[in-house]
Amino acid sequence: MKVFKFGGASLKNAQAIRNMSTIVLDYAEGPLVVVVSAMDKTTNALERVVHAFVKGENYQAEISRIIGYHQAVINELFENPQEILGTLEGLASQLTEKLQSPSEEDKLYDQVVCFGEILSSFIVHHYLTTIGLKNIWKDARELIRTDSTFREGKVEWALSESRIISLKKDLQTHVIITQGFIGGDAEGNSTTLGREGSDYSAAIFASCLQADSVTIWKDVPGVMNADPKRLQAAVVFEELPYKEAAEMTYYGASVIHPKTIKPLALKGIPLLVKSFTNPSLPGTKIHDCKVDHLPPMIVFKDNQCLISCKVTDFTFVNEDQLRAIFDALSELNVKLNVMQNSAISFSFCIDFRENKVMALIEKLQERFEVYYNTNLTLVTIKNYDEQSFETYRKKPGVILEQSSRSTLQVLVKE
Ligand code: ASP
Ligand code: MG
Q: CATH homologous superfamily for 297-413?
A: VC0802-like (3.30.2130.10)
Cα 366–149–181 angle (5° rounding)? 125
Distance between CA 262 and CA 264 in Å, rounded?
A: 5
Flag residues of the chain having pLDDT under 50.
none
Domain ranges of the chain: 2-211, 297-413
Which residues, including other chains, have CB under 8 Å from residue 13's CB and lie 6 or more apart?
A: 40, 73, 76
Q: 81: Cβ–Cβ under 8 A, 6 or more apart, which residues?
A: 74, 75
The Å distance, Cα 116 to ligand 1 centre, comes to 9
Single-letter amino acid, residue 131: I
2-211, CATH topology level: Carbamate kinase (3.40.1160)
- Centre of ligand 2 to C-alpha 293, Å, is 32
Q: According to the model, what pLDDT value does residue 214 have? A: 98
Distance CA 384, CA 380 (A): 9
**What residue owns the CA closest to ligand 1's atom 6?**
196
| Residue 179 Cα to ligand 2 middle (Å) | 12
- 297-413 and 2-211 share a CATH fold: no
Round to whole Å and give the CA distance between 310 and 413: 21
User: pTM of whole model > 0.75?
Assistant: yes
- Which pLDDT value is given to residue 314? 82
> Which ligand approaches the C-alpha of residue 116 most closely?
1
Residues 6+ away with beta carbon under 8 Å from 319: none
Q: How far is the CA of 3 from the centre of ligand 1 (A)?
A: 17
H or E, element range at 387? helix 386-393
* CA atoms of 383 and 404, how far apart (whole Å): 10
Task: Determine how many CB atoms are found less than 10 A away from the CB of residue 166.
Answer: 10
Which DSSP helix (H) or strand (E) runs through 90?
Answer: helix 82-98
Report the pLDDT value the prediction gives residue 151, as an integer from 0 to 100.
95
Q: What is the pLDDT of residue 254?
A: 84
CA 181 to ligand 2 center in whole angstroms: 9
Residue 164: strand, helix, or coil = helix
H/E element holding 381?
A: strand 369-382
Q: Which ligand is nearest to the CA of 196?
A: 1
Closest ligand to residue 120's CA:
1
Strand order in the sheet with 271-275: 135-137, 175-179, 32-36, 2-6, 213-218, 271-275, 284-287, 239-241
pLDDT of res. 255: 87
Give the H/E segment covering residue 161: helix 157-165
Interatomic CA distance for residues 339 and 326, integer angstroms:
11
- Indicate which atom in ligand 1 lies nearest the CA of residue 44: 4
Closest atom of ligand 1 relative to the 7 alpha carbon: 7
CA of 43 relative to ligand 1 center, distance in Å: 6
Q: Where are the alpha helices (DSSP H) in 181-297?
A: 198-209, 242-250, 261-267
**Interatomic CA distance for residues 161 and 139, integer angstroms:** 15
Ligand 1: residues within 6 Å at CB? 7-8, 37-38, 43, 116, 180-181, 195-198
Å from CA of 141 to ligand 2 middle: 18
Of ligand 1's listed atoms, the one at least distance from the Cα of 8 is 7
Query: What gap in Å lies between CA 141 and CA 189, rounded to an integer?
Result: 8
Contact criterion met (CB below 8 Å) for 267 and 207: yes
Number of the ligand 1 atom closest to the C-alpha atom of 197: 8
Q: What is the number of the ligand closest to the CA of 109?
A: 1
Q: What is the pLDDT of residue 252?
A: 87
User: Can you tell me which atom of ligand 1 is nearest the CA of 201?
Assistant: 8
Catalogue the E-assigned strands of 122-270: 135-137, 175-179, 182-184, 190-192, 213-218, 239-241
Residue nearest to atom 2 of ligand 1 (CA): 196
**Which 8-state DSSP code applies to residue 28?**
T
- Which residue has a Cα nearest atom 7 of ligand 1? 196
- pLDDT at residue 125, as a whole number: 98
Residue nearest to atom 3 of ligand 1 (CA): 196
